[in-house]
Amino acid sequence: MGDCGCSVPDLEFLQATELTCPALEAMKEFNERVHGNVSCGGNPLEHVKVTLTNDTNAEEATTFTDSNGNFSFASSYSGSSVFIVANGERITMSL
């Protein structure tokens, strides 16, 4: 199992489930602020690294989810997608 940046209890939870995890949700507000959530089976995942990329797929910024699985990026970034890496695979969501 690859390193998804999750805490140890979260990894144990992922291994014990047959759910497709983790789930990544993100949106861009009208003011360009990007925010979202990372969860598994409705349970928030903490300390997951989230990366914001631009139209050319270059990384603009990174952050980590909080205890509720939430993340956000300042409106000063003009990202077009976000991604996380879990189980050695990149999970991407376009904004």
pLDDT tens column, 66-83: 999 999 998 888 789 999
What string of DSSP letters covers 61-82?
EEEE--TTSEEEE-TT---SEE
**pTM as predicted:** 0.75
* CATH architecture, domain defined by 8-94: Sandwich (2.60)
pLDDT tens digits for range 2-14: 445 555 455 555 5
Question: In 3D, which of 95, 94, 13 has the Cα closest to residue 48?
Answer: 13
Query: If you average pLDDT over residues 16-38, what whole number do you get?
Result: 80
Using DSSP, state whether 2 is helix, strand or coil.
coil
Using DSSP, state whether 57 is helix, strand or coil.
coil
d(CA 3, CA 77): 26
Domain ranges of the chain: 8-94
